[in-house]
Amino acid sequence: MAFEDLLEQAGGLGLFQALQVLTLVLPALLVPPQMLLENFSAAVPGHRCWVPLLDNSTAQAGVTGAPRPEALLAVAIPPGPDRQPHQCRRFRQPQWQLLDPNATAANWSEAATEPCVDGWVYDRSTFASTIVAEWDLVCDSEGLKPLGQSIFMAGILVGAAAFGLLSSRLGRKPMLTWGCLQVAASGTATIFAPNFPVYCGLRFLSAFGLAGLILVLMTLTVEWTTTSRRAVTMTILGCTFSTGQMALGGLAVALRDWRTLQLALSVPLFAAALMSWWLPESARWLIITGKPDRALRELTKVARINGHKEAKKTLTMEVLLSNMEEMASAKAHRSVLDLFRVPELRCRTWTLMAVNFTLTVSYYGLVLDLQSLGSDIFLLQILFGAVDFLGRAATAFFLRLLGRRATLAASHALAGSSILANALLPRDWPTLRVALAVLGKGCFGTDLTCLSLYKNELFPTSLRMTADGLQQSVSRLGAMLGPLVRMARQALPLLPPLSYGLAPVVSSLGVLLFLPETQGLPLPDTIQDLEGQRSAKARGSRREVAVMESTWL
């Protein structure tokens, strides 16, 4: 295609592309930890009611021959459903008769109990501090934790819609820098939150900026990389996301205080914002928006970094305008309504909306609830990151073997099936349950990487960022509902896993029925090019598709 010819004249794949990937590695590493931070900062520690008999040093002062703490615990806290001390109830009065070896269950089962009116005592052997322990998000208030996660996802939903429009009008580079600064500033401010509502508000602002990073982070990279190397470049950055997930598990082991962990993941983004100053704007976007002078300057800059000095003679305004005339004409088609007015786009838009929604409902329902899978959440986080790395790395093989449509449908359905199987297993089979969860997470890694390629091949350049912003908003709506569905666990224990499992299986059928295969087809720049895709496929064109990437983790 014409732009690919210009990119080749600017050096193709060279030093500039390598430096660009290195510049974007830092924000790419930090995006997944920001998304999954509350697996650790909002972990629920072991807890029980505060009772004067056990926890008031004044009440115990001067008492000689007092019973041991285990005995005091037995007379102060009733047993819970798991036969351990109840987490949310205490005896109104100490039940001293329970110290009698001949005491039976009847001796305490009828005794009056009450909620934890004086607060809770938390086990701090694993975490020095979490927001759950700091603001007592347990027992009757335990629903506030998933509500807070949903508020965070709402920030990404709103941010995705806003940044999708802004990046189409103001450019990719400013949104990347602004996203880094907003996440860094709001994340740092979060450690000073005096209460849970303020914390949620700051997390919302952080999520809003994070949406800009997710939407724009990889776009600049793939737009400045030659067609034959884009899939490799995207795989590298995708594996960087997976490395960030593993790094979160290791960092959480070292930093057991939620404020310290929050600060460690936020401050480096200030450096990422500073490092992004030298990145050039997307020349493709500049041409689409009618700014050929600036596009030529950026192309010349890239050629100079790549050592192609002769590009000054070949990269001229005349060459730029003659080769990109068709792309420049595409700027008239920018309305989001075109995604639903044009028949060729309408079916693709609705189908991908269903896929994005079901993917994130299930994905965040799984990855934000590590404590339900086992006690060692640090190891689970590292395992999830490792299998995600393998899933993303294997995506290129599956795409070449099966194509886009079959790879997306298969990984989507297999991820949902793993969650369904996990729900049907008894809880006393922890090893198999963890294995199925890890398998599902690996499938989601392939799913996300394939979708990030496929969705950009289905829309023309003039509408690609608009379509991506819409799809991101829909996916974040699913991410909001994922934690909220968990709130129904107490009343309907099987509802969350069944919802997380069935939704991807059903939507995978829509992929097979309603989406075309795009492997080997040139990237469409205009709506009219969608018709040309079919003829190009019929002619057996095997050119690698140029893609622009926006991913979320």
- Three-state helix/strand/coil letters over 384-433: HHHHHHHHHHHHHHHHHHHCHHHHHHHHHHHHHHHHHHHHHCCCCCHHHH
More confident residue, 92 or 307: 92
Residue 543: what pLDDT?
41
3-state secondary structure of 525: coil
Does 550 score more than 50 pLDDT?
no
Residue 548: what pLDDT?
38
Does 161 score more than 70 pLDDT?
yes
Residue 263: what pLDDT?
95
Q: Name the residue among 355, 117, 374 with its Cα closest to residue 249.
A: 374
Question: What average pLDDT does the chain have?
Answer: 79
Q: How far apart are CA 22 and CA 341, in angstroms?
A: 41
With contact defined as beta carbons under 8 Å apart, do 404 and 457 qualify? yes
Q: Across residues 72-99, what is the average pLDDT?
A: 81
Angle at 188 between CA 185 and CA 190, to 5 degrees: 110
**Strands 89-91 and 113-115, sheet pairing:** antiparallel
- For residue 363, the surrounding DSSP H or E stretch is helix 343-367
| DSSP letters for 499-516 | HHHHHHHHHHHHHHHH--
Look at 42-51, 395-404, 421-430 and tell me which has the smallest mean pLDDT. 421-430
Q: How far apart are CA 57 and CA 66, in angstroms?
A: 13
Residue 1: what pLDDT?
46
**Who contacts 123 (Cβ-Cβ below 8 Å, separation ≥6)?**
45, 46, 47
Q: How far apart are CA 254 and CA 265, in angstroms?
A: 13
More confident residue, 516 or 426: 516
Does 114 score more than 50 pLDDT?
yes
pTM flag (> 0.85): no
Residue 132: what pLDDT?
92
Does 376 score more than 50 pLDDT?
yes
Count CA atoms within 13 Å of residue 49 on its CB side. 26
More confident residue, 324 or 377: 377
More confident residue, 124 or 59: 124
Q: Which CATH number fits domain 2-44+137-538: 1.10.150.110, 1.10.645.10, 2.40.128.20, 1.20.1250.20?
A: 1.20.1250.20
Helix, strand, coil abundance in the chain, percent, nearest 5? 70, 5, 25
With contact defined as beta carbons under 8 Å apart, do 548 and 285 qualify? no
Q: Looking at the chain, which residues constitute the CATH 1.20.1250.20 domain(s)?
A: 2-44+137-538
Structure tokens at 541: 């064109």
Count CA atoms within 13 Å of residue 492 on its CB side. 11
| DSSP symbol at 276 | G
> Which amino acid is residue 125, in one-letter code?
S
- pLDDT digits 0-9 by tens, 222-240: 777 766 676 677 778 878 8
Q: Where are the alpha helices (DSSP H) in 37-130?
A: 38-41, 52-55, 57-60, 69-76, 106-109
Residue 334: what pLDDT?
56
Does 527 score more than 90 pLDDT?
no
With contact defined as beta carbons under 8 Å apart, do 523 and 4 qualify? no
**Residue 115, beta-bridge partner list:** 89
With contact defined as beta carbons under 8 Å apart, do 65 and 143 qualify? no
| DSSP symbol at 329 | G
Q: How far apart are CA 405 and CA 294, in angstroms?
A: 37
**Who contacts 420 (Cβ-Cβ below 8 Å, separation ≥6)?**
497, 498, 501, 502, 505
- For the purposes of burial, counting CB atoms within 10 Å of the CB of 441, is it exposed (0-12), middle (13-18) or buried (19 or more)? buried
Q: How far apart are CA 176 and CA 306, in angstroms?
A: 23
Q: Name the residue among 520, 501, 238 with its Cα closest to residue 388.
A: 238
Does 289 score more than 50 pLDDT?
yes
- pLDDT digits 0-9 by tens, 178-216: 999 999 999 999 999 999 999 999 999 999 999 888 878
Look at 84-98, 285-299, 314-328, 508-522 and tell me which has the smallest mean pLDDT. 314-328
Residue 435: what pLDDT?
84
Q: How far apart are CA 4 and CA 1, in angstroms?
A: 5
Q: Across residues 433-455, what is the average pLDDT?
A: 83
Count of H helices and E strands in the chain?
A: 28, 4
Residue 293: what pLDDT?
80
pLDDT > 90: percent of the chain: 13
Rounded alpha-carbon distances, angstroms, from residue 305 to 11, 48, 174, 278, 302: 9, 62, 21, 12, 5
pLDDT > 70: percent of the chain: 81
**Who contacts 172 (Cβ-Cβ below 8 Å, separation ≥6)?**
216, 219, 220, 223, 281, 282, 285
3-state secondary structure of 47: strand
Q: Hunting for tokens 């080749």 — which residue is that?
A: 8
Residue 551: what pLDDT?
40
Residue 440: what pLDDT?
84
